[in-house]
């Protein structure tokens, strides 16, 4: 295992204390040598671990430890049994999008309620292994609640920087309930990431944003678990929301590694969906540019992807090239329409999670995705993460007490 700069290619060993970026400023990523990996042996091993109910390998992340962090000692794994999320063949979602078949990967079923747990368990475990007792992140809500949960579980200090007024109330309350130290920061999420990247090490804080290369490794487990659930044959497309772009980076990396090992026979195409008011990555890709121009005032009702300067955009751009990927931007109205479909299918999600289905519908209507193709849509967060969005999407029932006889008559009338 090595940490390799995606800009200059310089490699280093993951020592106990390490920077999140290279001396040249480029982000680091984990590179592993899988040339001797035996795909059939790994499949058998992963199948055997499905029967486990306790211990680190009962986790839907650490079940795939050989692909995530084979060098980490088991004693340092900090886990809440994350992963193990449902993969649902959802006919209403397919009908809404106008494609043949859609699977929804419900990451909101994670212990803190979002996909962040898949990556956070890996980042926190590496930080504990390195001897850190204080952890930090900038967040629009899901990252902070996930880190705060793991820190509380392991008895660690947790420092969180948030954009004042830019975090759904439920997410902020969840973060505080776990005991995190929460600070508002001028300039929002982007300013928080810059501050932690610059000063985190000096403050003795282990940074757990998506710049952390081990968090990306943990997030790979989402697509590995989905492939396992589908018998190692994936749909034509993987569609996901794009905020900080860590998911695009992680899922693309996981797909390419599984193909190289021989776990899957074909790499699906990737579609990254952003909200129209927070879509600097889509604008760059659509224009054919090679440098991201940040959005100084991102705006969207999908607060989890309200990010104007995504830190992992270079990794995500490379994934699009390697996976024949595409991008699109969708309106808040399209996001909320998709959310209603997902909610009423009995699964549910927060607004940002619904961006994937909204994007799939748009790409199918444009002809980018064929109506005969299939897709796996990643639902990033639980529907209860954002109660304000529920108040908008669910009509006021206008409840008033009814006498039992009157209630019986009404029910009989609509039977």
Task: Give pLDDT tens digits for 310-360.
Answer: 989 999 999 999 999 999 999 999 999 999 999 999 999 999 999 999 999
Distance separating alpha carbons of residues 315 and 272, to the nearest angstrom = 13
Residues 358-373 have pLDDT tens digits of 999 999 999 999 999 9
Helix 280-287 and helix 313-322, axial crossing angle in degrees, nearest 10:
40
Q: Has residue 17 got a pLDDT over 60?
A: no
Range with lowest mean pLDDT among 109-118, 182-191, 276-285: 182-191
3-state secondary structure of 131: coil
Percent of the chain with pLDDT over 90: 83
**pLDDT at residue 117, rounded to an integer:** 98
Enter the pTM of the model: 0.94
Q: Has residue 388 got a pLDDT over 90?
A: no
170-to-37, 140, 176 alpha-carbon distances in Å: 43, 12, 10
- pLDDT band of residue 391 (cuts 50, 70, 90) is confident
**pLDDT at residue 415, rounded to an integer:** 64
Residues 245-289 have pLDDT tens digits of 999 999 999 999 999 999 999 999 999 999 999 999 999 999 999
Distance separating alpha carbons of residues 320 and 247, to the nearest angstrom = 12
- pLDDT band of residue 19 (cuts 50, 70, 90) is low
3-state secondary structure of 370: coil
Residues 25-81 have pLDDT tens digits of 888 999 999 999 999 999 999 999 999 999 999 999 999 999 999 999 999 999 999
Distance separating alpha carbons of residues 110 and 146, to the nearest angstrom = 10
């Amino acid at each position: 295992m090595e940490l390799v700069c995606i800009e200059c290619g310089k490699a280093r060993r993951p020592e106990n204390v390490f920077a999140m970026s290279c001396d040249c400023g480029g982000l680091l990523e984990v590179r592993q040598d899988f040339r001797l990996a035996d795909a059939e042996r790994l499949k058998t091993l992963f199948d055997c671990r499905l029967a486990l109910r306790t211990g680190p390998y009962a986790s839907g992340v650490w079940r795939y430890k050989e692909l995530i962090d084979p060098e980490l000692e088991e004693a340092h794994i900090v886990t809440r049994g994350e992963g193990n999320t449902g993969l649902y063949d959802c006919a209403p979602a397919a009908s809404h999008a106008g494609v043949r078949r859609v699977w929804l990967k419900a990451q909101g079923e994670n212990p803190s309620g979002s996909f962040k747990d898949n990556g956070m368990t890996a980042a926190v475990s590496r930080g504990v292994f390195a001897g850190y007792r204080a952890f930090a992140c900038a967040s629009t809500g899901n990252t902070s609640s996930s880190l705060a949960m793991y820190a509380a579980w392991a008895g660690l200090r947790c420092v969180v920087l948030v954009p004042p007024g830019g975090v759904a109330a439920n997410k902020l309350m969840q973060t505080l309930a776990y005991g995190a130290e929460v600070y508002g920061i001028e300039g929002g999420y982007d300013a928080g990431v810059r501050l932690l990247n610059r000063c985190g090490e000096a403050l003795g804080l282990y940074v757990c944003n998506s710049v952390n290369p081990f968090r990306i490794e943990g997030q790979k487990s989402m697509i590995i678990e989905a492939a396992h659930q589908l018998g190692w044959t994936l749909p034509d497309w993987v569609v996901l929301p794009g905020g900080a772009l860590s998911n695009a980076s992680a899922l693309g990396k996981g797909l390419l590694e599984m193909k190289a090992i021989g776990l899957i026979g074909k790499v699906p195409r990737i579609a990254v969906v952003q909200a129209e008011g927070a879509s600097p990555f889509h604008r760059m890709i659509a224009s054919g540019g090679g440098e991201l121009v940040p959005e100084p005032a991102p705006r969207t009702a999908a607060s989890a992807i309200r990010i104007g300067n995504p830190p992992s955009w270079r990794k995500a751009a490379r994934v699009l090239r390697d996976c024949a990927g595409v991008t699109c931007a969708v309106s808040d109205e399209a996001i909320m329409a998709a959310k209603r479909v997902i909610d009423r299918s009995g699964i549910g999600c927060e607004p940002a999670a619904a961006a994937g289905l909204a994007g799939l519908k748009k790409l199918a209507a444009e002809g980018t995705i064929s109506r005969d193709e299939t897709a796996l849509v990643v639902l990033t967060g639980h529907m209860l993460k954002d109660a304000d969005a529920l108040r908008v999407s669910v009509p006021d029932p206008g409840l008033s007490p009814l006498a039992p006889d009157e209630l019986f008559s009404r029910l009989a009338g609509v039977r």
